[in-house]
């Protein structure tokens, strides 16, 4: 099995650790993940944009079989689509709760977690996940 | 521009074919297609495959396929568009004949998935989506389909049981297709007794590991008339893309790739939807089958499952769909799937579909999706005389 390359992981650290996307300097459209060209107006200048760390769950599932290699340790796990306060959607694991506790519209916030292990010699990858804000 | 015809078709059985290699599968389907057409040489071969680079550590498939078929020196082109690779190979081959670049063209779709574990395949299937921000979350293809299923049920108030009927129908037709992977009949109860793959999607609603190869021969319609079999004309072939990230689409439950490819295809073929006699569409899961029928314009958004429940897609229904079992029943050998669909429509048009033959077929449509709708292909074939 191939070991993930370190530079490929490093390149994304800024975006994955702090949830940074892109904002079009012409029309203001915000994107996650980061991109070079605006899908709305075609403008080629976009700046890094720190996304809101809070949002609501739109829809979610629990992955229960055929986990891709490297994800077995957390299984089964919840993956959902989160709509952030600034309107951008993020696909992410949802942690620190049971599936029965999640309802569409539930408030969640960003948390920094281990995402994936690549065997004994590979990189341990970290990044964004979301957890419920229980009130 | 020239009119283009399909003059030979062939395929292997679909399944976990442990005694057959990628090359064995190619040779079996391609020689069947050549014999069916009654020809023994070609100008060029187009190969559609999705994952051989990962699952077999094998690239350079164009030359490999030309070599194992004994066609020394010909040009060979290998294309990839996830699980629509076979349809893209067909589309490129069609253009080669249409615009006069080649006269006799072989299209081969092939996939060999059973050499790998389901975890390896699961990871490989996620190469269809963005690696850094979609695969990174640990979601699977089935997981993405589950999100769509849940979202669809919530938005349109449709029952899961009604959507799951797509798989019941698939197995019914596959039971009468000697080439199909799953020839057992299933009931709704069986689906809901099968394990949950990703909530709420059940194991029996989704395709699984499959090996298979399908091939066909294209040539100008004028040349085709000289050959032994009734030529089937390609009335249209089109492809289109949608935004790569599902979450960046305005409406996740509409694949604009399908909508655009269908619009272009109907315009090119100069026919209307009610002239379509059979449809082979992309039911890699029950929900994708439902969404696909809607995006192709055969039924209103939100009404696809009901359309199935009312019996419209059966062999003698209003719109016979996935007549040989579809992706769920016949099996979904990724890069080969699009070519299987075309082969099956050719059988229907020639009256060779056996127990699944639909009466009086004049026009058929195939629709293949790459990834979760980031790519789609629509082809229309006919024998209008």
pLDDT tens, position by position, B213-259? 999 999 999 999 888 788 999 999 999 999 999 999 999 999 999 99
What is the distance in angstroms between the CA of the first residue and the CA of the last residue of chain B? 19
Of B133, B137, B243, the CB nearest to A93: B137
d(CA B102, CA B312): 40
- Where residue A118 falls among pLDDT bands split at 50, 70, 90? confident
- In a mutational test of the A interface, the residue from B116, B143, B244 whose CB has the highest number of chain A CBs within 10 Å is B143
pLDDT average, residue stretch B344-373: 98
Mutate to test the interface with B, among A9, A64, A128 (most CBs of B within 10 A): A64
Interface of B with A (CB under 8 A): 118-123, 126, 130, 132-140, 142-143, 146-147, 150-151, 154, 195-201, 203, 243, 245-248
User: Model ipTM?
Assistant: 0.96
The percent of residues in chain B predicted with pLDDT above 90, rounded, is 97
Nearest CA in chain A to B126: A68
B192 token code pair: 């809901």
Tokens of A61: 């599932």
| Angle at the Cα of B50 from the Cα atoms of B49 and B55, rounded to 5 degrees | 105
pLDDT for residue A1: 45
SS (H, E, C) B64-133: HHHHHCCCCCCCEEEECECECHHHHHHHHHHHHHHCCCCCCEEEEEEEECCCCCHHHHHHHHHHHCCCCC
Across the A:B interface, residue pairs with CB atoms under 8 Å apart total 102
Average predicted confidence (pLDDT) for chain B: 97
Task: Determine, for residues B120 and A66 on separate chains, whether the beta-carbon distance falls below 8 Å.
Answer: no
Per-residue pLDDT at B366 exceeds 90: yes
Chain A residues inside the 8 Å CB shell of B134: 91
Q: CA-nearest residue of chain A to B249?
A: A89
CB contact under 8 A, B143 and A90: no
* Nearest by CB: B247 against A39, A77, A81: A81
Please determine, for residue A135, whether its predicted confidence score (pLDDT) is greater than 70. no
Q: How far is CA B192 from CA A53, B140, B189, in A?
A: 38, 20, 5
Q: How confident is the model at residue A3 (pLDDT cuts 50, 70, 90)?
A: low
Q: What Å distances lie between residue B4 and A68, B11, B224, B233, B322, CA to CA?
A: 42, 21, 9, 6, 24
- Most B CBs within 10 A among A63, A67, A74, hence the mutation to make, goes to A63
Please name the member of B121, B133, B150 whose beta carbon is closest to the beta carbon of A33.
B133
B21-77 residue pLDDT tens: 999 999 999 999 999 999 999 999 999 999 999 999 999 999 999 999 999 999 999
Residue numbers in A near B199 (CB within 8 A): 61-62, 64, 99
Please name which of A16, A29, A96, A85 lies closest in space to residue B134, comparing C-alpha atoms.
Answer: A16
User: Is A77 close to B138, i.e. CB distance below 8 A?
Assistant: yes
A67 at interface of B, judged by CB pairs closer than 8 A? yes
| Overall pTM surpassing 0.90 (yes/no) | yes
pLDDT tens column, B255-264: 999 999 999 9
Closest CA to B54 of B126, B144, B107: B126
Residues B275/B282, Cβ–Cβ less than 8 Å: no
Distance from the Cα of B151 to chain A's closest Cα (Å) equals 7
Query: Which residues of chain A have a CB within 8 Å of the CB of B113?
Result: none
* DSSP per-residue string spanning B142-160: HHHHHHHHHHHHHHHT--H
What is residue A123's three-state secondary structure? coil
Q: Classify domain B4-117+209-232 at the CATH superfamily level.
A: Thiolase/Chalcone synthase (3.40.47.10)
**Minimal CA separation from A106 to chain B, in Å:** 15
pLDDT at B335: 98
Helix axes B160-174, B286-295, angle to 10 degrees: 90
**Interface residue A126 vs chain B (CB under 8 A):** no
Give which of B358, B329, B331 is closest to B345, Cα–Cα. Answer: B358
Domain ranges within chain B, ordered by starting residue: 4-117+209-232, 139-205+235-382
Average pLDDT over residues B146-167: 98
Q: Tokens 């029309």, residue?
A: A27
| The dihedral sign for the CA sequence A119, A125, A128, A133 | positive
Q: Is the pLDDT of residue B288 over 70?
A: yes
Give CATH for domain B139-205+235-382: 3.40.47.10
- For A55-107, the pLDDT digits (tens) are 999 999 999 999 988 898 889 999 999 999 999 999 999 999 999 999 999 99
- pLDDT of the residue at B385: 64
From the candidates A3, A19, A61, A90, which should be mutated to test the interface with B, based on the most B CB atoms within 10 A? A61
Nearest to B258 by CA among B135, B123, B100, B375: B375
Q: Do residue B147 and residue A59 have CB atoms under 8 angstroms apart?
A: yes
Which range has the worst mean pLDDT, B17-26, B117-126, B201-210, B297-306? B117-126
Average pLDDT, integer, range B326-338: 98
B168, pLDDT greater than 90: yes
Contact B199 A69 (CB under 8 A): no
pLDDT tens for residues A11-67? 999 999 999 999 999 999 999 999 999 999 999 999 999 999 999 999 999 999 999
When pLDDT is averaged across residues B190-208 and rounded to a whole number, the result is 98
Q: Extract the tokens encoding B190.
A: 């069986």
Q: What is the DSSP letter of B203?
A: G
Q: Is A100 on the interface with B (CB under 8 A)?
A: no
């Amino acid at each position: 099995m191939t070991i993930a390359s370190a530079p490929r992981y490093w390149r994304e650290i800024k975006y994955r650790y702090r949830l940074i996307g892109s904002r079009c300097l012409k029309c203001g459209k915000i994107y996650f993940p980061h991109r070079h060209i605006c899908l709305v107006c075609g403008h080629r200048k976009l700046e890094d944009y720190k996304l809101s760390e809070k949002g609501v769950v739109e829809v979610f599932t629990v992955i229960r079989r055929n986990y891709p290699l490297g994800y077995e340790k957390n299984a089964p796990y919840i993956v959902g689509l989160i709509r952030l306060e600034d309107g951008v959607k993020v696909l992410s694991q949802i942690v620190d709760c049971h599936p029965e506790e999640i309802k569409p519209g539930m408030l969640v916030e960003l948390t920094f977690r281990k995402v994936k292990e690549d065997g004994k010699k590979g990189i341990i990858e970290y990044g964004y996940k979301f957890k419920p804000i229980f009130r | 521009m020239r009119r283009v015809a399909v003059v030979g078709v062939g395929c292997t059985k679909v399944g976990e074919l442990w005694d057959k290699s990628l090359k064995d599968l190619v040779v079996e389907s391609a020689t069947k297609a050549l014999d069916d057409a009654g020809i023994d040489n070609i100008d060029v071969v187009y190969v559609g495959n999705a994952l051989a680079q990962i699952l077999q550590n094998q690239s350079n498939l164009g030359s490999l396929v030309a070599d194992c078929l004994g066609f020394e020196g010909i040009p060979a082109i290998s294309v990839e568009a996830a699980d629509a690779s076979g349809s893209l190979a067909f589309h490129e081959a069609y253009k080669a004949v249409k615009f006069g670049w080649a006269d006799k063209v072989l299209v081969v779709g092939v996939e060999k998935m059973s050499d790998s574990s389901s975890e390896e395949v699961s990871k490989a299937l996620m190469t269809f989506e963005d690696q850094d921000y979609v695969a990174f979350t640990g979601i699977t293809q089935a997981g993405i389909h589950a999100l769509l299923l849940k979202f669809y049920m919530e938005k349109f108030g449709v029952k899961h049981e009604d959507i799951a009927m797509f798989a019941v129908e698939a197995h019914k037709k596959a039971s009468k297709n000697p080439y199909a992977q799953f020839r057992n009949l299933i009931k709704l109860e069986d689906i809901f007794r099968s394990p949950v793959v990703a909530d709420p999607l059940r194991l029996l609603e989704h395709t699984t590991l499959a090996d298979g190869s399908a091939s066909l021969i294209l040539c100008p319609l004028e040349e085709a008339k000289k050959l032994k079999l009734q030529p089937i004309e390609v009335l249209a072939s089109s492809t289109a893309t949608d935004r790569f990230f599902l979450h960046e689409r305005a409406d996740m439950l509409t694949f604009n790739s399908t909508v655009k490819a269908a619009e272009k295809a109907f315009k090119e073929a100069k026919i209307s939807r009610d002239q379509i006699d059979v449809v082979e569409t992309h039911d890699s899961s029950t929900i994708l089958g439902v969404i696909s029928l809607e995006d192709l314009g055969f039924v209103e958004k939100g009404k696809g499952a009901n359309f199935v429940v009312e019996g419209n897609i059966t062999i003698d229904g209003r719109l016979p769909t996935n007549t040989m079992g579809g992706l769920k029943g016949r099996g979904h050998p990724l890069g080969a799937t699009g070519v299987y669909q075309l082969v099956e429509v050719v059988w229907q048009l020639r009256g060779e579909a056996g127990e699944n033959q639909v009466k009086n077929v004049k026009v058929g449509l195939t629709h293949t999706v790459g990834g979760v709708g980031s790519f789609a292909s629509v082809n229309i074939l006919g024998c209008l005389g």
